[in-house]
Amino acid sequence: MFDSCDSTKDVQQSLWRSTPLNLPEVSEPDVVRHYTNLSQMNFGVDTGFYPLGSCTMKYNPKINEEIVPQFNGIHPLQPAQTVQGVQAVYDFMDKALAEITGMKRFTFLPCAGAHGELTGLMLMKEYHLRRGDTARTKVIVPDSAHGTNPASAAVCGFDIVVVKSRPDGLVDVEDLKPLLGPDIAGIMMTNPNTLGLFERDIKEIASLVHGCGGLLYYDGANMNPLLGVVRPGDMGFDIMHLNLHKTFSTPHGGGGPGSGPVGVAERLVPIVDVPKTSGFHGNFGVILRACAYILTIGRENLKMAGPLATLAANYIKESLKDSYKLPIPTVCKHEFVFDGLADGGDVTTLDVAKRLLDYGFHAPTIYFPLLFHQALMIEPTETESKETLDAFIDVMHLIAREASENPELLHTAPHNTPIGRPDETAAARQPILKYSFD
């Protein structure tokens, strides 16, 4: 009976491989150790604190990872009556996200945040075209915007008009007014904005943009500070996307997996399904995780995410503001920006970021937003304990001391990671992803 393991017996001889497959001949323990060691060389949210601003790298409950594989057997071409459970998930998510955001309907096709932006802008374009309004060729984007906003608008064929921020970090309404006119398709904003500040003038901005015939697009990638507190729909936004892979669980990074459902206000409901931006029904695994996340946490507890994320961000900001330059000293929401060390000499933000790796912390977002030369953007999220925040604060103070006592230590950091400072462009553009047999 053991002979049955020899599968060559069942295959016609004409189909047999004539040359041996070129594979490394290694034992299972060697393979397991190789990949386990490789996995330890990277930094992940499961191994340490990851305070990356404008990207919500939070810990996600493992129960969601347990649930998803149970749906692995389904196929998008299966008859609808055999996948009623899946349809119920989509239906629930449409209603839940509508309640959370104040939008009316969602499309689940987009597979990432930027993909959602493109889908949303296609809806904006379609909306104007259906009214016979062909002159609206421009989209307004604040100078603090996430880079994907102007990029998506450009990909969608719009010209970009930049609106300035005031010194307090909020959109300058006086700078906005003269930009508005019959050529404006809409504005893209996020609130709290990329500096972690709530745009208090949003109602006025909404009525100005609507007044000129434009629509408001909301970048809801990082929705955690708002959950159950404020709704983009109530602020006057017409179209928005959510990053399920940031706010609603699903570990992300390295390009995926993601889901960026797009919600629309009442008047856009008839066209919500027009842009066909992905095959079938989008990234179901991520949508399912978000469903599990919302159901396990529940309506009441979901409202805790925002206050906790805001408390954690302000706690770090206040604890470190003597060691790091704080250009906008007001209360922040889920994230905030330092402009380098208060007293760092020639020690740069890059040096601080690299030194953090030596102490087991991932670096915050650096050199973004572009408004500050040494930007260091910190977002602790709602999932970290006070002990973790305190450990991070201690290390940030320690690095500030090192900067004045031994700057060379920082210029040459990191010292105890598998690699030092790679050529980041080459690492991104020419990654070596497979074994070379030469």
Ligand X SMILES: *Cc1c(COP(=O)(O)O)cnc(C)c1O
Residues forming contacts to ligand X in the complex (CB under 6 A) are 54-55, 112-114, 146, 148, 190, 219, 221-222, 243, 258, 260
Q: What whole-number distance in Å separates Cα of residue 143 and Cα of residue 123? A: 23
Min CB(237)–ligand X separation in Å: 14
Cβ distance 389 to 397 under 8 Å?
no
Q: Which residue is nearest to ligand X (CB)?
A: 113
Min CB(20)–ligand X separation in Å: 42
Cβ distance 3 to 9 under 8 Å?
yes
Min CB(114)–ligand X separation in Å: 3
Q: Which two tokens stand for residue 68?
A: 């998803």
For residue 188, give the nearest of 171, 166, 168 by alpha carbon: 171
Q: Which two tokens stand for residue 330?
A: 């007001």
Closer of 146 and 231 to ligand X (Cβ): 146
Closer of 193 and 323 to ligand X (Cβ): 193
Identity of the residue numbered 359: Y
Min CB(260)–ligand X separation in Å: 6
Closer of 105 and 334 to ligand X (Cβ): 334
DSSP, residue by residue, 60-94: --THHHHHGGGGTT--TTS-GGG-HHHHHHHHHHH
Q: What whole-number distance in Å separates Cα of residue 138 and Cα of residue 52? A: 31
Closer of 143 and 183 to ligand X (Cβ): 143
Min CB(259)–ligand X separation in Å: 9
Chain-centre distance of CA 250, in angstroms? 11
Min CB(245)–ligand X separation in Å: 6
Q: What whole-number distance in Å separates Cα of residue 108 and Cα of residue 219? A: 16
Cβ distance 71 to 288 under 8 Å?
yes
Min CB(77)–ligand X separation in Å: 27
Closer of 258 and 414 to ligand X (Cβ): 258
Closer of 56 and 348 to ligand X (Cβ): 56
Min CB(55)–ligand X separation in Å: 5
Question: In 384-438, where does DSSP find H-type helix?
Answer: 386-405, 407-411, 424-429
Buried b (16+ CB within 10 A) or exposed e, 101-137: bbbbbbbbbbbbbbbbbbbbbbbbbebbeeeeeeebe
Cβ distance 46 to 59 under 8 Å?
yes
Closer of 176 and 377 to ligand X (Cβ): 377
Min CB(377)–ligand X separation in Å: 11
Closer of 102 and 260 to ligand X (Cβ): 260
Min CB(258)–ligand X separation in Å: 5
For residue 244, give the nearest of 225, 275, 222, 273 by alpha carbon: 222
Cβ distance 410 to 396 under 8 Å?
no
What radius of gyration do the chain's Cα atoms show?
A: 25
Closer of 336 and 341 to ligand X (Cβ): 336
Closer of 242 and 352 to ligand X (Cβ): 242
Helix (H) or strand (E) holding 187: strand 184-189
Q: Which two tokens stand for residue 188?
A: 């893209």
First to last CA, the chain: 40
